[in-house]
Every structure is written in C-alpha cells, then in structure tokens.
Structure 1
Amino acid sequence: MYEKSANILIDAPLATVWDALTSPPMIERYFFGTKLTTDWRIDAPMVFRGEYQGETL
C-alpha cells in the first residue's frame, strides 16, 4: 500500500475549517455535489455518493 501526505496552511478560524471538513452540506459545495453519509462513530464508514462524468459512484 502507498501512503502520501501533504501540508497546507489555511488562513481561517479552526471552527470554519472543521465545519468544512465535517459538514455534509459544506462538503457537497466543494466536492462537486457529493453526498456524505456517516454516523460519526469511531470506525464507522464514511460513504461519499455522487456522479462523475455521467456515472453514479
């Protein structure tokens, strides 16, 4: 398995960044309409659903 990492500095309050990473309506705005489904429990799946080039994913 390959592992990659990257760093980026985001000039925004921590609460705003956290909301962007965990709020399904926010994720949908920047992730091309993708819908996130999860119950946020430890080890629970995070399922992203959407369309890409006409194909449902």
Structure 2
Amino acid sequence: MSRVSGMFNESDLLMRYPEVAAIVRDNPSWVTGGYRLNKIFYACHAVSQKIKI
C-alpha cells in the first residue's frame, strides 16, 4: 500500500475527507506506530466508497 499512499499528501487527503480528519484528530493513537499515511489513505479510500448496506 505504501507505493500508492506515497503518491498522496496527508494534509490534502485530510482536507478532502473531513470525516477522516475528525477521526485522526480525536483518536491520534489509531494512526501511530508507523505507516501513518497508509492508514489515513486506507480510511479515505473506505469513506470514498460510500458502501450502502
């Protein structure tokens, strides 16, 4: 995932996906421990899918 997520800028992703930015702000431990951009990119991708059940 690093190859794809590395093509994006964290601040751009968080600006485009305020839902993810709020989660990252409220739960910073969820994106610590390495691979921060991968985690943020994956969360933005999941939000972008808007899967309806």
Determine which structure has the larger strand proportion and give its number.
1
Determine which structure has the larger helix proportion and give its number.
2
| Structure number with higher relative contact order (C-alpha < 8 Å, ≥ 6 residues apart) | 2
From the CA coordinates, give the structure whose radius of gyration is larger. 1
Q: Same fold (TM over 0.5)?
A: no
With normalisation by structure 2, the TM-score equals: 0.24
With normalisation by structure 1, the TM-score equals: 0.24
